[in-house]
Amino acid sequence: MVRGSIGAFATCDHAMASAILSDSKRFGSFAVAKHKPIDTTVHDDEGRRLIVPMDDSFLSMDPPDHTRLRRMVAPWFSPRAIRQRTETIEAMLEEILDELGRRGGWDAVNDLSVRVPIRVIAAFFGIGEDNYEDFRRWGGIIGTSVDGIRTMSDLRDFRRMLIEMRDFFNDLIVKRTAEPGDDLVSFMVQAAPEGEPLTGDEMIATCGVLLGAGFETTVNLIGNCILTVLGHEDVRQRLLSDPDLIPGAVEEVLRWDAPVQYLLRVTTEPVTMAGVDIPADAPVFVVVAGANRDPRVFGDDAGELDITRPNSRKHLTFGDGIHLCVGAGLARIEAAATLRVLLRKFPDLQLADGAQRRPTRVVRGMTTLPVRQPVAGVAMA
């Protein structure tokens, strides 16, 4: 545990990171911290407070509200529900990659990685193609906002997005109330956990957090997986000869090239950790990407990529404790299915020039990852 010059604390130690994330009583969410240095509420033109999915959903709540709302979505992420989705996801990938196969080169992030989670999340709400573009834009803005909103133009985009998203989900709630289907919104409008129906704001925040937490994270996991495989010929060859190694490879990418680099907590009372005194209301950065390379857990080669590492799964990329990512299983199968179908269809795919990293700090990955298929009969460099 270290104290930075501005009074924030940080740890890369795996045991400490896990202990902090598992102790939501003493290390609370920043969104609900009692003493915040700045007011983070946003309002519409009529002065109504806007729902901010990452702050107003169960992601930032304590029990019992956290438990009540997480229970609403948990069945949609059960191993059985995920197994049922695997076939649909693979069929969707076949279709996308067939289309990309007709081009010589394409962008593995914008033409492929972003299309997978958007369709998967849209399916939760029973909505189709017409809304993909809006979802993609909203998800992108939420994903970037977790780094902090720095400019007036960012704030304007963020506020506009919150209004559009609220209006969209409000309409959807009205539609599904009148005519329920078999989607998550229909389930929420009919459910009354502990005898209390969900409020409109709770439903909007719950829908929004699935998009906010499930989009950019997964796009970047898929992008990082493709980059790792195409950038390491030995890994590509091993996966081609034994596709059963793909889930392990995804797990190792989650550890070694984590799409989420750190999480933020705030102390709710004075805490002493490893001899360091942390006052109440202090921000604590839990650097999961560092903890993922802690040699005490992953050995002296923790910095190396090893797709058969036996304990990759001990990474903290999905968090820990009560807020452990509810979509972890889904993200894993989205990434594994992408690699499986990609390698089957394009075993020789090559990285092309022009790859660019995202400028963000919380989410790590590529903004663009150009790839090309070798021309038949031309030897690859």
How many Å apart are CA 177 and CA 99, to the nearest integer?
A: 37
One-letter amino acid identity for 133?
Answer: E
How many Å apart are CA 178 and CA 241, to the nearest integer?
A: 52
Local structure of 107: helix, strand or coil: strand
Q: Which of 235, 188, 239, 244 is nearest to 71 (CA)?
A: 188
Token pair recorded at residue 198: 């969900």
Q: How far is the CB of 68 from ligand HEM (least distance, A)?
A: 11
Question: HSE of 272 in the Cβ direction (CA atoms, 13 Å)?
Answer: 2
Taking the least distance from each CB to ligand HEM, the nearer of 96 and 121 is 121
Residue with tokens 């007011």: 39
Q: How far is the CB of 283 from ligand HEM (least distance, A)?
A: 13
Q: How far is the CB of 77 from ligand HEM (least distance, A)?
A: 7
Q: How far is the CB of 195 from ligand HEM (least distance, A)?
A: 22
Report angle CA 265, 266, 270 to the nearest 5 degrees: 130
Q: How far is the CB of 116 from ligand HEM (least distance, A)?
A: 10
Q: Where are the alpha helices (DSSP H) in 115-151?
A: 115-124, 132-145
Q: How far is the CB of 2 from ligand HEM (least distance, A)?
A: 20
Q: How far is the CB of 320 from ligand HEM (least distance, A)?
A: 8
H/E stretch holding 286 reads strand 283-286
Residue with tokens 């030995």: 234
Token pair recorded at residue 99: 């289309």
* DSSP label of 247: H
* DSSP label of 105: E
Taking the least distance from each CB to ligand HEM, the nearer of 117 and 370 is 117
How many Å apart are CA 164 and CA 170, to the nearest integer?
A: 10
Strands 356-357 and 283-286 come out as: unpaired
Q: How far is the CB of 59 from ligand HEM (least distance, A)?
A: 4
Taking the least distance from each CB to ligand HEM, the nearer of 21 and 92 is 21
Residue nearest to ligand HEM (CB): 327
Cis peptide before 64 (omega within 30 of 0): yes
Report angle CA 263, 267, 269 to the nearest 5 degrees: 165
Q: How far is the CB of 81 from ligand HEM (least distance, A)?
A: 12
Do 218 and 116 meet the contact criterion of CB atoms below 8 Å apart?
A: yes
Taking the least distance from each CB to ligand HEM, the nearer of 70 and 176 is 70
- Would you tell me which residues interact with ligand HEM (CB under 6 A)? 21, 58-59, 70, 121, 209-210, 213-214, 217-218, 221, 259-260, 263, 317-319, 323, 325-327, 330-331
